[in-house]
Structure 1
């Protein structure tokens, strides 16, 4: 009987120790990583400012290429007693003033003047040839129509180097009364020639479409993690052309898809032949873009482990501490490996869905529960860890700050928004006002978070380059 009581007492003590705690290591099955190969897309519809700028100096250079040599010829002397040829003598000088283009065109004019008398049906005429030099002043209003900058040029007076005159009987006889009517006929033709030359110089369509074609091609912005970015322009809007600060600016807006993709090149493509140009009184500028932020599982685990440092998780007389943390993905969920010691020793596994806490700017694991094998092993020791307050506190600490990732995303955007030049003559500038994590994707090497940013962006195109 005494021996029986000793055996019962020993069994009771063993049971209490088994229930209250143990130093025996529990072996659990490690869930193997498993990742989806699906391509992750995040598409945003945005409006971008698209100012197209042409310096007046470049306009002057281009216009001089199109307007050269003999620009006017009148070979008929009948009617006005005058034949005339006009050449551009030197470079046209173009400046801007009060929202207009002001030009000075140096001219060389050859005239053949017929003069004399007609009386009683008899005529007595003589002719003289003159070479004249002068400068004509022009002023142009600028507009934008059908992809082209158009001008309406008005002709001012001519400043003659010398007053037009001929010598008769040793005297200078002014012939301005003959020259001025001929010049008056020439002026409208000259205005049209200047307008045509400027129109040829300022056909910005090929420059804009070429620039958009280049910047719309998909770019692999993070080769290590196969992160791509692409843009698909949909519509262009324009309302006016502005002449100021020694340049001509066409104020345009663009509606576009901005797409970030993980695991493959984006599928959107830009067909420049289908881009529509529309007139608009007000240009929208709502800018939204997604940028992929990357953090490796190891780095995320280090950040999460900091939450467990120096903490003991207790339930009555039992307690555990977390000695290590590891993370990976499986079937779209996050696996959290926790190394524990104390009343329970071993590696145990939690599973949950990665989510974002916008208030604390932290990533956390939602819908947390023990992986089935870990849960079954722990239940052998009671519910105190599998269902109790310790599990709740473990859940609370399965999170890490993403401030650094947000800053990295912001800095990445700044790289592309600070005088970024994807191709010669095209520059991107702008700023973002907010960054907010959106979709979270688990890849074999890292946790990739799509961060949505808003702000304003301008893509400037120098149409003469």
Structure 2
């Protein structure tokens, strides 16, 4: 006996098929822009301090014994021998400006002079010897030249007699001071050149600067948990004018460049050679660094799946659920491809431009919307799905927290700035005081968020 197929069941199946809409919109193009990121310029400043007692010691080591000798009586009836009588004194209070220090050289002078008189075959010449003391004064300005060499500019500031020279020629007293002063004024210029030469030869900052310059370019591990590295790429070396302050000559050297953080494998050192030193009115102390937080697509998909996968979204009697999803980039947009089941079958594509939200410390998308072709197909087949509720619920789910990663990086960086010795013979001190959200980058590896940290950093270099 033949059995007929129930028409009521057939009509039910046709109705179900008719009510189930299938979507197949065009997939938004997957492409990635070059990472257009210029890190903020920072300055890592380093104080330069040259102790006055050290300069005094070097001058005393180099300027000893006779300073000037004139053994010829015939030209001016005067012989002179000038020698250092006591240690050279270097002081700051007596200098004419705050950019100079005063050098006082105590001198002892032996002199032989008199009159030469030869008449009618008789030699009536008479010469006597005398000794006296005086203090010769100089003001010395100190600067560092572009080759990292200490240079001085020494100018004579006259001299003070401790005892003026007098020759006693048989009851005739002759003031020798006018003759000696002319010689000493000429000789002061030669002594000034000697001071400039000796200081310049003794103080060279280049070896310490080269060591520091090379060291700061080596990456420093900030976080093992997130595999975060800090690298400084210096490009300029600056120096401010030196000033004398109590017992030191002080100034500031600054390494200007880019401070960056990296995630993943250890970045290469930049290996820039030490440049010529540039003089500036003042060395900035602002330190800025871009803290990069990153979340991979796999991790972002995992977080989204926990929120929306297999979840049912309803509107009246109609419902859909998300059975699968994946994320990728399309220029500046993040694209979510969602596989649907229920009253709507197939894929829908959502996209939007991410930003970093400092309140939630998450990457969010304010303008999440369906792709153009997805919205066109929804309008024809399932307008109810595109009316807003479904999209709003997904937008709430599209949040990717990276606060823990950025906070860990910030803490590790602050620890690095807390009187830390990241490089041999160098200590770094500073603080981070401001944090400002920066750009979001869609890369092949995932989503990267930049937070710019601002503060101050100082590098203390041993021997500088």
Contact 2:356 2:440 in 1 (8 A): no
Matched, 1:105 2:104: yes
Matched, 1:72 2:67: yes
Residues 292/415 of structure 1: CA separation in 2 closer, same or farther (3 Å cut) = farther
Structure 2: runs of 5 or more not aligned: 20-31, 371-380
Contact 1:52 1:252 in 2 (8 A): yes
Structure 1: runs of 5 or more not aligned: 21-35, 370-381
Contact 2:126 2:169 in 1 (8 A): no
Matched, 1:84 2:85: no
Contact 2:358 2:437 in 1 (8 A): no
- Map 1:307-318 onto structure 2 (within 5 A): 314-316=314-316
Q: Deviations over 1:229-249 (max 9, x none)?
A: 333333345564333465434
Residues 295/166 of structure 1: CA separation in 2 closer, same or farther (3 Å cut) = farther
Give 3-state SS (helix, strand or coil) of 1:139's partner. strand
Length-normalised TM-score, structure 2: 0.64
Q: Deviations over 1:105-137 (max 9, x none)?
A: 35352x44324443343244345474x665433
2: distance between equivalents of 1:431 and 1:71?
57
1: distance between equivalents of 2:329 and 2:44?
43
Contact 1:229 1:266 in 2 (8 A): no
Offset at residue 452 of structure 1 (A): 4.0
Matched with 1:372 is none
1: distance between equivalents of 2:91 and 2:384?
83
Select between 53-62 and 455-464 the one with higher mean Cα deviation.
Answer: 455-464
Matched with 1:266 is 268
2: distance between equivalents of 1:385 and 1:61?
89
Residues 425/61 of structure 1: CA separation in 2 closer, same or farther (3 Å cut) = farther
Matched with 2:375 is none
Q: Deviations over 1:150-174 (max 9, x none)?
A: 32332332353x6656788899997
Offset at residue 61 of structure 1 (A): 5.2
Offset at residue 74 of structure 1 (A): 0.8
Select between 191-200 and 424-433 the one with higher mean Cα deviation.
Answer: 424-433
Offset at residue 270 of structure 1 (A): 0.6
Residues 117/80 of structure 1: CA separation in 2 closer, same or farther (3 Å cut) = closer
Residues 329/249 of structure 1: CA separation in 2 closer, same or farther (3 Å cut) = farther
Matched, 1:436 2:437: yes
Offset at residue 327 of structure 1 (A): 10
**RMSD (Å), alpha carbons:** 5.7
Matched with 1:373 is none
Contact 2:49 2:250 in 1 (8 A): yes
Offset at residue 11 of structure 1 (A): 9.7
- Map 1:44-443 onto structure 2 (within 5 A): 44=39, 46-48=41-43, 50=45, 52-57=47-52, 60=55, 63-64=58-59, 67-70=62-65, 72-78=67-73, 79=76, 81-87=78-84, 89-95=86-92, 98-109=97-108, 111-121=109-119, 122-128=123-129, 130=131, 135-147=135-147, 148-158=150-160, 160=162, 164=165, 176=177, 179-237=180-238, 240-244=241-245, 246-250=247-251, 255-262=256-263, 263-266=265-268, 268-272=270-274, 275-278=275-278, 288-293=288-293, 314-316=314-316, 355-358=354-357, 360=359, 361-364=361-364, 389-390=389-390, 392-419=392-419, 421=421, 422-424=423-425, 427=428, 429=430, 431=432, 433-439=434-440
Give 3-state SS (helix, strand or coil) of 1:44's partner. coil
Contact 2:116 2:124 in 1 (8 A): yes
Residues 59/270 of structure 1: CA separation in 2 closer, same or farther (3 Å cut) = same
Give 3-state SS (helix, strand or coil) of 2:92's partner. strand
Contact 2:168 2:174 in 1 (8 A): yes
2: distance between equivalents of 1:391 and 1:190?
85
Select between 213-222 and 40-49 the one with higher mean Cα deviation.
Answer: 40-49
Residues 176/133 of structure 1: CA separation in 2 closer, same or farther (3 Å cut) = same
2: distance between equivalents of 1:385 and 1:71?
105
Contact 2:241 2:280 in 1 (8 A): no
Matched with 1:31 is none
Offset at residue 141 of structure 1 (A): 3.5
Matched with 1:28 is none
Contact 1:208 1:461 in 2 (8 A): no
Matched with 2:452 is 453
Question: How many aligned positions are there?
Answer: 425
Contact 1:237 1:278 in 2 (8 A): yes
Residues 453/245 of structure 1: CA separation in 2 closer, same or farther (3 Å cut) = farther
Q: Deviations over 1:333-357 (max 9, x none)?
A: 999999xxxx99xxx9999789324
2: distance between equivalents of 1:245 and 1:306?
67
Contact 2:229 2:261 in 1 (8 A): yes
Residues 116/255 of structure 1: CA separation in 2 closer, same or farther (3 Å cut) = closer
Contact 2:145 2:151 in 1 (8 A): yes
Give 3-state SS (helix, strand or coil) of 2:188's partner. helix
